[in-house]
């Protein structure tokens, strides 16, 4: 049996959940860095979803791509 020793190929699926609703699922192929996180998840999906809720708390999971300078800055600059 041949063992594959490289990084695992595949996709990631991102989704947000709320008490009465949720975001669409976002399919992310390849490596998700902070720039892709902003352009493919935060800006088009998360921020519009949060802005449509009367009250919301955004809780991130401290994933590596969230901890750089780009994602926190993008979240701080978003309209409340």
Question: Residue range 38-64: average pLDDT?
Answer: 86
What pLDDT does residue 41 have? 92
SS3 71: helix
d(CA 58, CA 69): 17
Q: Which residue has the tokens 């780009």?
A: 70
Question: Residue range 56-69: average pLDDT?
Answer: 69
What pLDDT does residue 40 have? 94
Tokens of 6: 């490289």
Contact at 8 Å (CB) between 33 and 65?
Answer: yes
Q: Is the pTM of this model over 0.85?
A: no
């Amino acid at each position: 049996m041949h063992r594959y020793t490289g990084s695992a190929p595949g996709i990631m699926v991102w989704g947000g959940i709320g008490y009465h609703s949720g975001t669409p699922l976002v399919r992310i192929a390849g490596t998700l860095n902070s720039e892709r996180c902003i352009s493919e998840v935060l800006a088009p999906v998360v921020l519009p979803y949060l802005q449509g809720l009367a009250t919301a708390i955004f809780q991130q999971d401290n994933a590596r791509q969230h901890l750089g300078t780009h994602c926190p800055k993008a979240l701080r600059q978003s309209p409340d």
